[in-house]
Amino acid sequence: MTRLLELQVVTKHFGGLYALGGLDLHVDEGEIVSVIGPNGAGKSTMFNVITGLYEPDEGDVRFRDSSVVGLRPNQITRLGIARTFQTVHLFPNMTILENAMVGQHCRTKTGVFGAVVHTPRARREEAQIREKAREALDFFGSRLAGYRQDQPAFALSYANRRRLEMARAMATEPTILLLDEPTAGMNPRETLELRDLIVRMRDERGLTVLLIEHDMRVVKGVSDRVVALDYGRKIAEGSYEEVANNEQVIEAYLGTKAVG
Amino acid sequence: MEGLRVRSYIRAGLVGGIVAIYLMLEGLVERFGELNLIGDQVTLGRVLLALPPAVAAFVVMRPRTEAGRLVQPERRAGTVGGALTGLVTGGVMAVALLWADWFGIDRVRAVFVAASPALVEFLTFGRTIVTGALILLSVGVISGALGGVARTTDPGLRRPLTAGLSALIVFGLLQRVIPIAMVEIGLTPDWLYSPITKGLTWEGAAVVFVVAVAASIFWERRGRALRAELRAASDERPSVKFSVFLVLLAIAAVLPLLLGAVVSEVLGQVMIFMLLGLGLNIVVGFAGLLDLGYVAFFAFGAYTCALLTGATLNTTTGAAAPALSFHLSFYIAVWIVALLAAGLGVLIGAPVLRLRGDYLAIVTLGLGEIVSILTTSNWLQPIIGGAQGMRGVTKAQIGILNFQDNPQHFYYLGLAFVLLALFVSWRLSASRIGRAWNAMREDEQVADAMGINTTRFKLLAFAMGGAIGSVGGALFAVNLGSLTPASFVIFVSITALAVVILGGLGSLPGVIVGALVLIGLPGLLREFEEYRLLIYGGTLVAIMVLRPQGLVPNVRRMRELKEDERSQDAWAQAQAGADDGVAAEEPA
């Protein structure tokens, strides 16, 4: 398997607080890797560093063997890294379809002239944007499909907003998808449904997935590999069973056993 | 009696009285006393006198929430309460009149120029002071009661009557426009407008009132259905929408022929501000970048056009050739102007890329001021004439059309460019570019993370907005034939922004309506010219309070303004969504 994404001794601190303290992590092509860890372990900071929202203080982020440090978020997205946010960030007043169409933006290049004159190329491209956006929405089945697509995004339920955010990320045609707590706010039934969808993202779409997740049923169900973080460092790595039974991980979540 | 809230009536009445006195001291009441609306009895001044008590009563009688329920005041409370409110307003006016008489109107006048004997004469209807005070009191009581009744009466009755009265005022105000148009299409206007008083005749007023009431009733009964039908039809077949557009275009095309040179001149100004509005709408409405220095593009367009078409400098010793001059036809120059202005847009945009909101507004304000100061500077005097300005901007002529000396012809030139700008804006907004701007406006950081090059699209917005605005400037130069720095002041930026906001940010029909209302109306009603700023201010405040989404809102913007309400029931919605999810899955 080829190495797709690699974090090399990445450090990021805010004032005196080390959010990431020399983190090493890699994701191979076609893998589903889950990152777990207690609140404040640096998981979302890691996503922000990968996608260019933060620049690392030290270390390197490499995608397909070239560094992405210093690139703007939109350039990184164009390279093939798409993400969702822990707190949903849609464009609430645009329609559902338009939200997904924005995802296609970085794969198209109609300029002012094409947009105003409607050149055949521009028209073809607009049709393609629409089709790809629909396709991304259709991946989530009846939840986002059909008559609902010309409604504004804010009209969606919380769970559907999460789905739309994932659809928008998929519409950027990424190689790797970073999902930040995709099941937060979903009921148990929806959580299980999403677990299956994540597996299908890889199997049907050929996506590599890196996800942050708290729900252990999801982590267990989807992960090829699990990485546990605490205080911005990797404390364990391996299969779900290995990590779940790792003493340091249990300690990070539950605290130290009382002596005596 | 139950349901009377005397204290709020007194408060509202006092506010009404203060407003009335303010209008008098500004000179509006007396000045508009000369403007006959109907016969020579109903003048705009008298309407203004009766308006404050009526409005105060109307506002104070609004439905209130009591213990969580909306309570509509009863009719009797409405009448009595309205009359009481009006009594207070009338009382304030009467007391002011008595005081001014006792104190000596000339001494008041030393401070308030408009407090003249003529004003006293107007307020007393030519009688003694005491009679005048009594008349003001009774005007207050009667119009207050009417205002109260109007609020508490059934909307089915209120709306037609409001429509009738508004139609009377509008027709009365348009007394210089409508008769000309009637003559032009072969009708005699004398039955409608009296040639002596200039206002509506009483018979004419009756006809206008009845027609407006009938139209309103018809609209109440059938209008909603008609509109829904039209909307459904235009959703199915876009050709319906297109034919509506064609009808409007046809009206726009014959307008100057019907209305004559004076009105066409005003409409020409409207066209220039439509271009400014359309350009600014791209920057502020589409991309969400608040630009308070838009006059920069207006000035740039005007001066560049003048230089390219071979204008000369005004100097104390006569005309002189500028240090930099070309002799191009206007039709070639205007494209060069637009292109250069796009470049200027990028230049202005580049330093402010990292700024947002308030900071961006302040910096653009400064950049705009720099440009308007440059127009007066000695440094640029050899090129653009400094404080004396330029003259001899080429006559834009094509065949028999003369755009400089004939306002009707200029109107068509303006219309052509407005249509072009509309088309460009419309196509852009519906494209990938428009979506990128929209996404950027809603959340810049997320737009960046979704692959939108925010730097490029911000600069593109400034460039496109600048290009369209500069064409407005070029037209301005061609229309006047000469330029002075006095035309390029911050007031242009403010007006353009007011046009965009009044119509509704991001809405193309909004810009058109906004320019018609803000530039067209004051231009047509020359009595208002003096009070233009007062009326702008009043209109903008009223719009922001009553209809913040603008006159013809953009759908998305309308949603944004309701965001507060939404976030409050976000929890409820999330709950409903979760239930929905479970319910949807049950059958499977």
* Global ipTM: 0.92
Chain A residue with minimal CA distance to B425? A116
- Asked if residue A132 has pLDDT above 80, the reply is yes
Q: How many residues does this entry show for chain A?
A: 260
Are the CB atoms for A145 and A96 separated by under 8 Å?
no
The torsion defined by the Cα of B244, B245, B247 and B252, in degrees rounded to 10, comes to 150
d(CA B540, CA A98): 32
> Is the Cβ of A146 closer than 8 Å to some Cβ of chain B?
no
- pLDDT per residue as tens digits for the range B486-514: 999 998 999 999 999 988 888 999 999 99
The closest CB to that of B449, out of A83, A98, A117, belongs to: A83
pLDDT band at B232 (very low <50, low <70, confident <90, very high): confident
In the structure encoding, which two tokens stand for residue A73, read together? 């978020």
Structure tokens at B184: 């032009």
Average pLDDT value for residue range A55-68: 94
- Residue ranges of alpha helices (H) inside A34-108 are 43-50, 73-79, 96-103
Tokens in use for B343?
């470049």
pLDDT average, residue stretch B89-109 = 88
Return d(Cα B52, Cα B571) in angstroms, integer. Answer: 44
A196 falls within a domain: no
The answer to whether residues A155 and B559 touch, using CB atoms and an 8 Å cutoff, is: no
Closest CA of chain B from A199, distance in Å: 20
Closest CA to B473 of B520, B417, B516, B392: B417
Query: What is the average pLDDT value for chain B, to the nearest integer?
Result: 85
pLDDT over 90 (residue A57):
yes
Put simply, the answer to whether A102 touches B452 (Cβ < 8 Å) is yes
- Highest mean predicted confidence (pLDDT) among A11-15, A58-62, B308-312: A58-62
Whether the CB-CB separation of B328 and B309 falls below 8 Å is answered with yes
**Arithmetic mean of pLDDT over chain A:** 90
Chain A: give the shortest CA distance to residue B402, in Å: 30
Tell me how far apart the alpha carbons of residues B384 and B382 are, in angstroms, rounded to a whole number: 6
Q: Which residue has the tokens 């271009």?
A: B275
What's the mean pLDDT in B261-289? 93
Q: CB distance from A254 to chain B under 8 Å? A: no
pLDDT-above-90 percentage for chain B:
37
DSSP type of residue A257: P
Which chain A residue lies closest to B556 (C-alpha atoms)?
A: A93
Exposure string for B339-377, b = 16+ CB within 10 A, e = fewer: ebbbebbeebbeebeeeeeeebbebbbebbbebbebbbe
Q: A193-228, pLDDT tens digit by residue?
A: 999 999 999 999 999 999 999 899 999 999 999 999
Q: How far apart are CA A173 and CA A106, in angstroms?
A: 9
In the block, which residue shows the tokens 């609004």?
B62
Residues in B closer than 8 angstroms to A187, CB to CB, are 578, 581-582
Residue window 164-183, chain A: list those with CB within 8 Å of chain B: 168-169, 172
Query: Distance, in angstroms, between B385 CA and closest chain A CA?
Result: 36
* DSSP state at residue B144: H
- Of residues B522 and B395, more confidence is placed in B522
Give the tens place of pLDDT for each residue, B41-60.
888 888 888 999 999 998 88
For chain B, the farthest-separated pair of C-alpha atoms sits apart, in whole angstroms, at: 91
Beta bridge pairs of residue A33: A210, A225
Confidence of residue A62 (pLDDT cuts 50, 70, 90): very high
Copy the structure tokens of residue B118. Answer: 């003529």
Kindly report the number of other CB atoms within 10 A of residue A181's CB atom. 20
Tokens of B529: 């010219």
Encoded amino acid at B252, one letter: A
Residue burial A86-113, b: 16+ Cβ < 10 Å; e: rest: eebbbbbbbbbbbbbbbbbbbbbebebe
Name the pLDDT band for B579 (thresholds 50, 70, 90): very low
Q: What is the arithmetic mean of pLDDT over B335-356?
A: 91
Residue in A closest to B434 by C-alpha:
A115
| Identity at B552, one-letter amino acid code | V
Out of A169-183, B403-417, B487-501, pick the least confident. Answer: B403-417
Q: From the CB of residue B378, how many other CB atoms can be counted at a distance below 10 Å?
A: 8
- State the Cα–Cα distance between residues B14 and B435, nearest whole angstrom: 50
User: Is A74 in contact with B576 (Cβ distance < 8 A)?
Assistant: no
Rounded to a whole number of angstroms, the CA Rg of chain A reads 19
* Residue B386 clears pLDDT 50, i.e. is over it: yes
Higher-confidence residue of B213 and B554: namely B213
Q: Please, which pLDDT band fits residue B319 given cuts at 50, 70 and 90?
A: confident
Residue B450 has its nearest CB partner, among A53, A111, A172, at A172
Weakest mean pLDDT among B67-81, B228-242, B324-338: B228-242
CA pair distance B555, B233, nearest whole angstrom: 19
Contact: B453, A72; criterion CB under 8 Å:
yes
Q: Is residue A225 part of a domain?
A: yes
Domain assignment of residue A189, yes or no = no
- Strand runs (DSSP E) across B126-219, as ranges? none
Write down the pLDDT at residue B575: 41
For residue A134, tell me if it sits in a domain: no
Asked whether residue A55 is domain-assigned, the answer is yes
CA distance A123 to chain B (A): 10
Name the DSSP class of B567: H
Ordered DSSP codes for chain A:
--EEEEEEEEEEEETTEEEEEEEEEEEETT-EEEEE--TTSSHHHHHHHHTTSS--SEEEEEETTEE-TT--HHHHHHHTEEE--SS----TTSBHHHHHHHHGGGG----HHHHHHT-HHHHHHHHHHHHHHHHHHHTTGGGT-GGGGGSBGGGS-HHHHHHHHHHHHHTT--SEEEEESTTTT--HHHHHHHHHHHHHHHHHH--EEEEE---HHHHHHH-SEEEEEETTEEEEEESHHHHHT-HHHHHHHH-PPPP-
Residue B189 backbone dihedrals phi, psi, to 5 degrees: -85, 0
Residues of A in contact with B559 (CB under 8 A): 92-93, 152, 154
Q: Which one, of B20, B38, B16, lies nearest residue B30 by Cα? A: B20
Amino acid at B580: D
CB contact under 8 A, B449 and A77: yes
Lowest mean pLDDT among A5-19, B105-119, B406-420: B105-119
Strands, DSSP E only, in B19-152?
36-38, 42-43, 64-66, 69-71
Question: Structurally, how many domains does chain A consist of?
Answer: 1
Strand partners, B483: B390
> Domain containing A231 — which CATH number?
3.40.50.300
Q: Is residue A104 part of a domain?
A: no
Pairing of strands A58-63, A32-36: unpaired
Name the 3-class secondary structure at B193: strand
The answer to whether residues B544 and B536 touch, using CB atoms and an 8 Å cutoff, is: no
Q: Specify the 3-state DSSP secondary structure of A13.
A: strand
Confidence of residue B563 (pLDDT cuts 50, 70, 90): low
Question: What end-to-end distance do the CA atoms of chain A give, in Å?
Answer: 47
Q: What is the pLDDT of residue B241?
A: 75
Q: How far apart are CA B95 and CA B371, in angstroms?
A: 51
Cα distance between the two ends of chain B: 63
> Which residue type is seen at B109?
R
pLDDT in tens, A148-163: 788 888 888 888 899 9
pLDDT, average across residues B445-464: 95
Question: Which domain does A221 fall in, by range?
Answer: 1-71+211-260
Residue A2 lies in a domain: yes
Contact B432 A89 (CB under 8 A): no
Q: How far apart are alpha carbons A153 and B99 in whole angstroms?
A: 62
Whether the pLDDT of residue B524 is over 70: the answer is yes
Cβ–Cβ below 8 Å for A189 and B452: no
Strands A81-83 and B397-398: unpaired
Decide if B337 contacts B469 (C-beta within 8 A): no
pLDDT of residue A8: 93
Domain membership flag for residue A25? yes
B482-483/B64-66 β-pairing: unpaired
Q: Do B428 and A116 touch (CB under 8 A)?
A: yes
* SS3 at position B303: helix
Closest of B279, B351, B339 to residue B305, by C-alpha: B339
The nearest alpha carbon in chain B to A106 belongs to B451
| Cβ-based contacts of B442 with chain A (< 8 Å) | 91-94
- Cβ <8 Å between A77 and B576: no
For B574, which of A92, A116, A157 is closest by C-beta distance?
A: A157
| pLDDT tens digit sequence for B128-178 | 888 999 999 999 999 999 988 888 888 788 888 888 998 998 888 888 888
Structure tokens that stand for B315 in this block = 């100097």
Predicted local confidence at residue B584, as pLDDT: 36
Q: Are B581 and A53 in contact (CB < 8 Å)? A: no
Q: Which helix (H) or strand (E) covers residue A129, if one does? A: helix A120-138
A111–chain B nearest CA distance, Å: 7
Query: Is the model's pLDDT at B113 over the cut of 90?
Result: no
pLDDT digits (tens, 9 = 90+) for A65-120: 999 999 999 999 999 999 999 888 999 889 999 999 999 999 998 999 999 999 99
Contact B556 A108 (CB under 8 A): no
Q: Distance from A17 to chain B by nearest Cα, in Å? A: 24
Strand duo A32-36 + A225-230: pairing: parallel
What is the pairing mode between strands B312-315 and B318-320? Answer: antiparallel
A-chain CB neighbours of B563 within 8 Å are 92, 154
B341 or B551, higher pLDDT: B341
For B224, residues 6+ apart whose C-beta sits below 8 A from its C-beta are: none
Which position has the token pair 């708290």?
Answer: A214
What gap in Å lies between CA B274 and CA B550, rounded to an integer?
A: 16
Q: Residue A105 to residues A93, B183, B189, B510: CA-CA distances in angstroms?
A: 18, 56, 58, 28
Amino acid symbol at B418: V
Averaged pLDDT for residues B398-404: 70
Q: Between A and B, how many residue pairs show a Cβ–Cβ distance under 8 A?
A: 131
Which backbone phi and psi does B2 adopt, to 5 degrees? -80, 155
Answer yes or no: are the C-beta atoms of A234 and A227 closer than 8 Å.
yes
Q: Tell me if B514 sits within 8 A of B277, measured CB to CB.
A: yes
Burial B386-421, CB ≥16 within 10 A → b, else e? bebbbbebbebeeeeeebbebbbbbbbbbbebbeeb
Predicted confidence at residue B477, as pLDDT, reads 92
Cβ(A172)–Cβ(A82) below 8 Å: yes
Does the pLDDT of residue B587 top 60, yes or no? Answer: no
| B318-320 and A176-180 strand pairing | unpaired
Q: For B421, name the nearest residue in chain A, comparing CA atoms only.
A: A116
Which run of H or E residues covers position B298? helix B295-308
Q: Which residues of B touch A72 (CB under 8 A)?
A: 448, 453, 455
Amino acid making up residue B384: I
| Min Cα separation B580/chain A (Å) | 9
* Residue B230 pLDDT > 90: no
Q: Which of A75, A97, A117, A158 to mutate to test the interface with B (most CBs of B within 10 A)?
A: A158
Out of A73, A93, A142, name the one closest to residue B449 (CB): A73
